[in-house]
Structures are given as structure tokens and as C-alpha cells.
Amino acid sequence: MNKKFIWPAAVLVALLGLTGFIAIKQMADVKADLTLPQGFSATIVADSLGGVRHIAVTSRGDVYVKMGSTRKTNGKGIIFLSDTNHDGRLDKKLLFGDYVGTGIKIKDHYLYASSNSAVYRYKLNDKDEVINTENPETIVQGLADHRQDNAKPLTFDEQGNLYVTIGSWSDACREKGSAVGIPGCPLLDSAGGIWKFKANKLNQSFGDGVKFATGIKNAVGLAYNPGSKSVFATNHGRSFDKQSGPFFTPQMNAQLPAEAIYELKQGTNAGWPFTYYDQNLKKAMLSPEYGGDGAKPGDSKYTDPTVAFPGHLAPNDMLFYTGNMFPKRYKNGAFVAFHGRSSNPVKGYFVAFVPFVNGKLSSNWEVFADNFTGSPDLEHPTGPMKYRPMGLSQGADGALYVSDDLKGAIFKIAYK
């Protein structure tokens, strides 16, 4: 622990004696020392939960948390955090769900949650509480899970469709030990894209889904924009290695390829693994495994990203803001949580905002919430990293919630 870190622990836990429930004693000082635009403030509403992934906030301000690790949760993969005394602090939690994963959303009085190979749902009561934690309904199962880039984020449109990411476990779709890409990349038949299922149909298999978008290596952020009535995805770009050719020096590897947001329509093809997007040249380039040398452009048939960020920032969630608490300029814009670090410029571990202008996302983005690490100078940090943004959710009051996957904290950002 960094001795310069003066925040007290945000939560202490004590067993209540009721199976699955834990009381959380909140400390008095829960203010979060984040860097935010003028008028915004942040508090820590829960802390030290463990391997937190995505989150979903209920109409009453309670929070469902999907866990990627169960080391601190006795094997349970979902936490329900409840504010029992209505003071804005999450003082009690219920653990359930015997599976780890990433995706979690509330839709039409159901809680949807994903493992790394399936999507389940739980019926909610009028307080947005799960009625039966022991018997979830299976919506879809049999999705590819090869233990690498295997998260299954999810979102919904307004026509009853469920969208699920199936990421690729291969960086470049090549045989092990080879520098040449496999022709046609057969992995794209079952990974490297977004698949569409019916949100209300039980016991679907992978074969019941429709490939909605392809050529996206691993979209951990997935969101529906009601303003444009389209699905958007944040892509984790591939990496390069010593087999990628002389152009791809360590310096270039540290910068490329761009992390990106894609606006998706049925049949969108973003080009992976045949191309990668170079944010400096502002165009898609041919991948080295398929004949690229850093100068050859990719095929124009592939879709360019809507927004391109510096490489290796690792966008892990995206949310389109529909609330009324924040100033008008934030309406329908996208918040993006980054839990990685870029080298040019040296930035990372922040939440960005992308404005929505004239019916589409702007290519200009800005840092919205920063200093999660507790060290403003990432090149010369003063101590251990404190927090790292992971998931996003919007409260009924319009506040923005941000989860942290380093310690397991949840931040609430409000505007006055």
C-alpha cells in the first residue's frame, strides 16, 4: 500500500449470519479524488469487492455486479449491493450465481448476466430484486470460450434482440509458430464479432444466432444508442510481435493498432485479421500476416471506425448517456472506460467522453474522469496503482457509475 494514500478504506465487511448476505460498514470519508470537469463530483459507494467486471444500476440505486473472479465471493459470480438506509452508500450485499463472466444488464424486468460461454436471466420484482437466485433461465449457451479474450458483454436493441460479443483467442489468425495468416480466417465463423439472438427466447444455442458484425477481434464494450438506433462496439486491437516484420518495431508495436469504436449494422465487417487501423495515418492498413508492410492500405470494403483512440488503452465498457442530471452536451454521447495505458501519448486508466453531434458520434473525444490511479504522471508514478476503470452504468437519477477491476470499487459521479 502506498503510504501517501490517505483515503481510509471505503468498506469493512461483517457477516450478518444470513446465508449469502453481508453487511458493509461504510467509513465516513467516501469522497473520490478524481479529476473531473467543473461541477462534477465523485464518491466511492462500495470498495474491496474483488474482480469486478460490468455493473447494472437499478431504479432504486442498488447495483448488480458481475464478477470475473470469485476469490472474494465464495465462488459466486454476481453481487447485489443494496442501499438499505437510503443514504447513498451500498451497505448490504447478496452473493449468487455460480459462474464468472463480464456482461450484466437490466432489461424488461429481468436481470441478464453472462458467463464466458452463455447468457442467463433472472426475473425481477417491482424493486428490481431477483426473485429466485438459484434457478436462472438460460437464454443462449455454447458460445466459444478458449480462455483468452473470452468475455461475453451484451446489449439490447428496441426490437427484442440480444447482442453478444464473441472475441477471438488468436491475435492474428495464424498457425502457432507461423508468420502467415490462415487464408479466409476460419475463426470468423464462430468468433471475432458480434452475434444476435432473441432476448426472450429460452435455450438458444450458438447456431440459433445470426452473425451481426464481424472482423472485430474483441469488443468488451457493447452498447445500443437510442439516438441513432444502432449498436456500437469498442474494439481491443490486436498486438504485433517479432514475426510481424521489420516495420513493426517495439516503438510501433507500442503505438499500434488503434483502439476503436465501430457503429454496427447487419453485415458490418471491420477487417480483422486482414487489416488493422492506424490512428496516425487515419486509415486501415494491410496486416503483416496477409502481406502488409506498414505502408500497404487495407481493402476499402472494410468499415472504418467511428472513433479511433491511441493503441493499448483497452476500452472495457461503453455507455450512451440518456439521463437529465448532466449538462445538455452530454446527452446521447458515449462514455468509455479504459483500463489500459497508451505510450504515445502516455495516458490511461480514465473514462473518456465522445460527444453525439448531428445524429452521430464525433471523432473528437475528451478525458472526462481521470486520476483513478492516484498518480497524475503515469510515466513516473509515485506509488502503486489505486484503481482502474472497468464498467459503466447509469443511475435512474442520471448519475454515472464506474466500476474498478483492480480492487473492486464502485464510483458514483454526479453533477450539481
With beta carbons less than 8 A apart as the criterion, state whether 102 and 66 touch.
Answer: yes
β-pairing verdict for 268-269 and 154-156:
unpaired
**Distance between CA atoms of 233 and 241, rounded to whole angstroms?**
25
pLDDT of residue 383: 85
Within a domain: 62 = yes
Residue 244 CA: distances (Å) to CA of 18, 162, 259, 290, 294 = 56, 36, 19, 10, 10
Lowest pLDDT segment from 25-39, 310-324, 367-381:
25-39
β-pairing verdict for 410-415 and 92-96:
unpaired
pLDDT tens digits, 35-78: 999 999 999 999 999 999 999 999 999 999 999 999 999 999 99
- C-alpha radius of gyration, the chain, whole number: 21
CA-wise closest residue to 59 among 23, 133, 134, 109: 109
pLDDT of residue 387: 96
Q: How big is the chain, counted in residues?
A: 416
Within a domain: 255 = yes
pLDDT tens digits, 187-213: 999 999 999 999 999 999 999 999 999
**Per the structure block, which three cell numbers stand in for 374?**
492516484
Within a domain: 4 = no
- CATH number for the domain spanning 213: value is 2.120.10.30
Within a domain: 2 = no
Within a domain: 3 = no
Q: Domain of 190?
A: 11-415
Q: How many domains is the chain partitioned into structurally?
A: 1
Q: Where are the beta strands (DSSP E) in 11-60?
A: 11-15, 21-26, 40-46, 52-57
Q: Which residue has the cell 508514478?
A: 381
β-pairing verdict for 315-320 and 334-338:
antiparallel
**Per the structure block, which three cell numbers stand in for 163?**
447482442
Within a domain: 6 = no
Question: Does the predicted model carry a pTM greater than 0.85?
Answer: yes
Within a domain: 98 = yes
Within a domain: 1 = no
Mean pLDDT calculated for residue range 153-174: 97
**Distance between CA atoms of 25 and 17, rounded to whole angstroms?**
15
With beta carbons less than 8 A apart as the criterion, state whether 18 and 396 touch.
Answer: no
pLDDT of residue 86: 83
